[in-house]
Amino acid sequence: MSDHRIPKRHPDTAFRIFDGEAVIISPTQNMVRMLNPTGSRIWELADGSRSIAEIAAILTEEFEVRPEHAPKSARDFVLALVERDLMTLNSD
């Protein structure tokens, strides 16, 4: 079943993507993170305009991710960032 929830980067974060790798700063969490290329692409796409399912579909096209694994991978990654207050998640 497709996940239509819409992730969005937390407004209290700053980030830059360097050669496909995102560096994220969260002053409120006093945290700095660097994401791998797949995670960085999810972060980049999570601008509040796409659902997790739509992001998973893009990952399938751009990375060597098997279509049956992409939705779970994208969802797990988003939920991990939501848990760390780096992303928010809204229902469609």
Partner 1 sequence: MERFGAFLTEAAPQWQITLQHRPDVVKGDADWAVHEETFTRFHIAAYRGWVDLAARIGEVSAPSLVRAPSALARILVFIATVILPRERDGLLLHACGLAAPQAAYAFCGPSGAGKSTVTSLAPPIVQIMSDENVVVRLEENVPVLHSTPFWGQSTPEAHIQRMRMRRPLAALFILKQSPKWFLRPLRNSEAILALLATEKIAVERVESARVWLDVASRLIARTPIYELGFLPTSDLWPFLTSHGFLIF
Binding residues vs partner 1 (CB under 8 A): 11-16, 18-19, 21-23, 25, 27-28, 32, 34
Q: How far apart are CA 34 and CA 5, in angstroms?
A: 24
Nearest approach in angstroms of CB 66 to partner 1 is 27
> Measured from the CB atom, is 4 or 14 closer to partner 1?
14
Cα radius of gyration (the chain)? 12
Nearest approach in angstroms of CB 10 to partner 1 is 9
Nearest approach in angstroms of CB 37 to partner 1 is 10
Q: Are strands 6-9 and 14-18 parallel, antiparallel or unpaired?
A: unpaired
> Measured from the CB atom, is 19 or 68 closer to partner 1?
19
Q: How far apart are CA 51 and CA 53, in angstroms?
A: 5
